Amino acid sequence: MFTSVLMIEKALTSADVEFVTGLHGDEEVAFHVLLQPRGEQAARLLRAIDDVALGSLDEAARELEAPAGEQAVSEGQRALDVSLVALRAAGAQAVGRLIEHHPLDSLKSLVDEAGADEVIVLTDPHYVEEFFHRDWASRARHKVGVPVLKLFSHSKV
């Protein structure tokens, strides 16, 4: 069985599920999903800058309305639950947890704990972070000791 750690920032779409479950053909895959709830102020600012860079001013303005604190955790848990159900419905084994602090430390621990074969980072584009190699995938490549695949979500939720 192939073991993948899947880092996400929002609920998986059906296209995302189809994509990640099809990466290894007919091989059985077990996913360990990590989701970091939205709401951190610095991340909110970077998302707004990305939205402006893409010409999506409406999206940038909506960042002010993004949930924070306990509401962000609650919404994150719902997104994680939906994603796990979708992965299982597609025939994959899937377990998951929220990470609130130090996502890369949590990632490294989970990779070691699960004996993961790879890490898949599935997010919306984050151009500012990617330009400076501060996105999850770039930073994880130097930390986890397994291949890291960076994929973009198929649609915004």
Lowest mean pLDDT segment, chosen from 44-53, 80-89, 105-114 = 44-53
Q: Please say whether the beta carbons of 7 and 107 come within 8 A.
A: yes
**Is the CB of residue 91 less than 8 Å from the CB of residue 15?**
no
CB 39 within 8 A of CB 10: no
Mean pLDDT, the chain, as a whole number? 80
Identify the pLDDT of residue 60: 47
pTM for the model stands at: 0.78
HEC string for the chain: CEEEEEEECCCCCHHHHHHHHCCCCCCCEEEEEEECCCCCHHHHHHHHHHHHHCCCHHHHHHHHHCCCHHHHHHHHHHHHHHHHHHHHHCCCEEEEEECCCCHHHHHHHHHHHHCCCEEEEEECCCHHHHHCCCCHHHHHCCCCCCCEEEEECCCCC
Q: Are 131 and 110 in contact (CB under 8 A)?
A: no
Contact 112, 75 (CB under 8 A): no
**Range from 34-38, 100-104, 145-149 that averages highest in pLDDT:** 145-149
